């Protein structure tokens, strides 16, 4: 069983070595952007479920967007 896992791991590493570094950054950027967009697809009443009011600072979608954009900026910088 361990030999099979090692073989799969070796194949995965070899496959990933063919991807150029800019391709990895593009892929990671697309994942970050998808994570930033997905909360905006949720219904507004689900976002504010249990909140005493619907002020903008309670909207989790904007907090998610801010955090993901900071993470994306850090990732693209380094």
pTM: 0.67
Q: Where are the domains of the chain?
A: 21-77
Model pLDDT for residues 37-78, shown as the tens digit of each residue: 999 999 988 888 888 888 888 888 999 999 999 999 998 888
> CA-CA distance, 39 to 23, in Å (whole number)?
26
Q: What is the dihedral of CA 31, 33, 36, 40, to 10 degrees?
A: -110
For residue 61, count CB atoms less than 10 angstroms from its CB and return exposed for 0-12, middle for 13-18, buried for 19 or more: middle
Q: Please list, in sequence order, all residues whose beta carbon lies within 8 angstroms of the beta carbon of residue 19, skipping any fewer than 6 positions away.
A: 27
**Mean pLDDT of the 2-29 span:** 89
């Amino acid at each position: 069983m361990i030999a099979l896992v090692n073989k799969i791991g070796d194949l995965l590493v070899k496959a990933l070595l063919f991807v150029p570094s800019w391709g990895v950054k593009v892929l990671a950027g697309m994942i970050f952007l998808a994570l930033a967009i997905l909360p905006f697809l949720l219904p507004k009443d689900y976002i504010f479920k249990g909140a005493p009011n619907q002020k903008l600072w309670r909207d989790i979608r904007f907090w998610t967007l801010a955090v993901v954009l900071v993470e994306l900026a850090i990732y693209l910088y380094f």
